[in-house]
Every structure is written in C-alpha cells, then in structure tokens.
Amino acid sequence: MWSASFQSAAAAGAVGMPPSVLETLKKQKLSLDDLGIWVQAVDSNKPLLTHLPDDLFNPASVMKLVTSVVALDVLGTNFQWTTRVYADALPVNGVVQGNLYIKGEGDPWFRSEDLWDLIRQLNDLGIHEVTGKLVLDNSYFDPGPADPSDFDGHPERVYNALPQALLLDNRATRVLIAPSDRNGTGAVVRAWPPNSNIAINNDVKLVKGACTGQTNQPSIAVLGSDTSTPTLNVSGKISTECQPDQFYLVAGNANDAFYSAFKHLFEQQGGKIEGTWAEGVVPKNAVYLVQHNSENLTQYLYLQNKWSNNLMARQIFLTLGAEIKGAPGTLLKSREVVMDWLKRQGFSWPGFDIENGSGLSRKERISPKELGQLLMYAWHSPTMPELMASLPIAGVDGTMRKRLRGEPARGMIHLKTGTLRDVRAGAGYVVTQSGRRYVVVILQNEKNVQNGGGTKVQDAILDWLYANG
C-alpha cells in the first residue's frame, strides 16, 4: 500500500514526475516526500524536472563535489603537496648527528612507494645513519579532537580514518593472507607496515579443494584498533588452491606506522636509525635535505571521486584552510574558504552546511537546487574536464561500475554517488539519447533507503532522462 503522503504527492504535487519513477517508488515502498530532484540541460536556463528543489538533504559523499569544485578553483588543477625531510645538522661521512625530521603538508595519498622515494633520495646523499630520533611534524593541520568510532562504532574501517598532515597509505594497515608458507604448513598472515606494536593472532585454517566462497572465508577482528597496541585476530579458512589476498583496515597509531615503515625501508638500503619516533615541529635552524612532490590535484580528485575516498576528501578540505587562511588548517578555516567562494560566485545557499568536506557526516546539508547550481557552474568552468574525468561512469568504473551495465545509458552517465544509513544520493551529468547533456541531482533521505531501493529509484530517473532528455 502507498502511504497517505505518497498518494497526495503523486496526485497533486508531482506534476511532470515520470510514471516509471512513481512506479519504482511504489514497488520499493519509498516516499516521494523524501526525494529531491534537480534536472537541467547545461544549455538551458530552466530546469526540466524538479522536486523539493529547496529542501535540505544530507548528501553523503555527494558533498565531495563541493570540495572538488572549490579546490579546483582555489588551489588550481596542478596544485601539489610536498613532504620534506630535514636534519639537525648536515651529515658528516653519511651520519646525521641528531634527529631527522619529516614534515607533512597534508598529502592525501602519500604511499609506501613515496616514502621509499624519500629514503632513496637520502641514500643518494650518502646518508646511512641517524643517531637521533625520527621526528614527525604534523603541524600543518589542526583538525581538532575526534574519535574514529564516533560515526558508526567501527574505528577499524578505512572510511573512518582521521586526517593528519603526515600520513602513510591513507592510514591503512595492509594485511596479506596467503594459503601457505614456503613449507606448506600453514596460512601466512603478514601486515604492512611491520609494526611491532601490532599483535597478530593467526588462526586461519587451511582446507583442501577448489577455491570457492565456501573455502575462502578469512576474517579479521581488530581489538583496540584506536589504541597504540591493537591486536588482529585473523581466523576463518582458506583453500590451498586460493590466491593470496589483501585486506585493509585501520589499526594502531599513525605515527607508529610511519616510523615502522621508515625504519624497515631505511634498513633495507643499509641504513640505521638509533632512536624511535617523536611528534614535534621542525626547528627553524634545521637543515633541509630532500622532498617528495605529490601528484597534482587533478589526479587525486580522480582517486577521490571514482572510489569515494573519505580521507582524501578530508585532507583536501583541510588543505583549503591551510593554504588560503594560513597553517594550521582547521575545519573552521576550510569552511570559511568554501563560504567565501560561494559568495564570490553570487550563490546564496541558506541552510547549506559543510562539516569535513567528505560527506561522512550527519550534519552536512545541501539542497538539490544548490547542487544543480554547482554543477552548472562547473560545466561552464575552465576546469570542467578535470571534474568530469573524476566522476564514476555508469556501468564502467568506480562506484557506478555495477549499475546500468545492461542499459542503453551505460557509459553515458558521470555520477558522484553517496551512501550512508538512511541516505542515498547521486549527482553529475547525463548525455541523453538525443545527444543533449543534462545536470542531474537526486537526493534521498529516508529510513533504509540505502538498502537497494534508493538505487533502483535513481536508476529509474537516469533511464527516463537518458530516453527522454
């Protein structure tokens, strides 16, 4: 049965609403009263279809579009992050007497490969020993106090990782599970970085037979993931016929992980560091040694938006505040940068609220019309190609790779998706069967809408637009 609110909306308030969309809402037992839509051709001054255009919705990860568009305008497409290494004194005969300092400036995607590049550069300078500590400088950001378990009680999940100016591998610990060691006597479980403060209990059982869903069921439980000494309980079973697999989770202290990886890679190249790590600030009289330059913003937005990487978005958001308002970057400074940008564009967005720039928030709000204005602006912006290239393509890649694969609209929709509990959202661009391009915004805030029904409603809207736009 349709709800009373749905019946009244369908009868009186849904002028122009496609029948296929109304029918899908009915089948999925979802309400038109909780659905916001904005559809507008990029070459038109008027929308083709709207519903609740001024209502405020939680957009989930679709909020990354705001972060992306503002960052492209404010930072520029070729903006890069640097990670620099300093020492207390110039090395003598390859020895640094005192501390080695690594200053992070918010690189959203600083990986183990990049750390290896820094160490290679140190090796090229002939540095093979550090008598002091590795001092990690995170002062470029001040994101404020936060608990990774606050959002949903799962601090070990990578989408809950917290920002920091100097991070390695998106704060993730990589756990390798392989069916046997060299002697074939047991399952192999290895973690990277090789952090001595993380305990691993390997209780994986080897079984015979083909590698199927029934014979490939390893699982990892993290105890004390947000403490400095967590334990990984690895259990389940894996067939001797299965290939090695990798799992990513957040466990332990981010500085511990950075130091552990540095020490391991430095020693691999014949180096030695005598001290442990400390968090601090690079002294003014420190000697600059080497640096790593990140990929540019355009390439990072591709990773952020295709796969909806929350931590990358939070790092980029904090960078806005640090670069424009001055370090350290804070959430307040970054929000001010966004609000200043909106004012310069002449946008009046009452009720708009951006908390951390990633959409992993219960506070963030935006209306379908506001997102429509943003996407219209972006389409006519010089950085339109960069934004467009970062969006998932229906039936092809990213978070849209499994959607509309068998439909004529496959490959014709670039859509940023968003999902939270009771939230399903999508916004981007559609090239219709007629060859015309449209901005499309679909925001749904309703109990359990994330459990498949919201996706079906969105796909019905996208299919209708492709055929009729």
For the segment 268-314, what is each residue's pLDDT rounded down to a tens digit?
A: 999 999 999 999 999 999 999 999 999 999 999 999 999 999 999 99
What token pair was written down for 354?
Answer: 């951006």
Between strands 219-223 and 231-235, the pairing is antiparallel
Per-residue pLDDT of the chain (469 residues; tens, 9 = 90+): 233 333 333 333 333 899 999 999 999 999 999 999 999 999 999 999 999 999 999 999 999 999 999 999 999 999 999 999 999 999 999 999 999 999 999 999 999 999 999 999 999 999 999 999 999 999 999 999 999 999 999 999 999 999 999 999 999 999 999 987 656 667 999 999 999 999 999 999 998 889 998 889 999 999 988 788 999 999 999 998 999 999 999 999 999 999 999 999 999 999 999 999 999 999 999 999 999 999 999 999 999 999 999 999 999 999 999 999 999 999 999 999 999 999 999 999 999 999 999 999 999 999 999 999 999 999 999 999 999 999 999 999 999 999 999 999 999 999 999 999 999 999 999 999 999 999 999 999 999 999 999 999 999 999 999 999 9
Element (H, E) at 370: helix 368-379
Give dist(CA 105, CA 399) in Å, integer: 29
Answer for the pair 417, 393: CB distance below 8 angstroms, yes or no.
no
Longest dimension (CA), the chain: 84
Helix axes 310-325 and 64-74, enclosed angle (nearest 10): 40
Give dist(CA 170, CA 109) in Å, integer: 6
Buried b or exposed e, range 116-138, using 16+ CB within 10 angstroms: bbbbeebbeeebbbbebbbbbbb
SS3 195: coil
Answer for the pair 368, 461: CB distance below 8 angstroms, yes or no.
no
Residues with Cβ within 8 Å of 297's Cβ and at least 6 positions away in sequence, in order, are 71, 72, 75, 76, 77, 78, 79, 80, 316
What pTM value is reported for the model? 0.94
For residue 345, report the phi and psi dihedrals to the nearest 5 degrees: -85, -5
Give dist(CA 421, CA 362) in Å, integer: 10
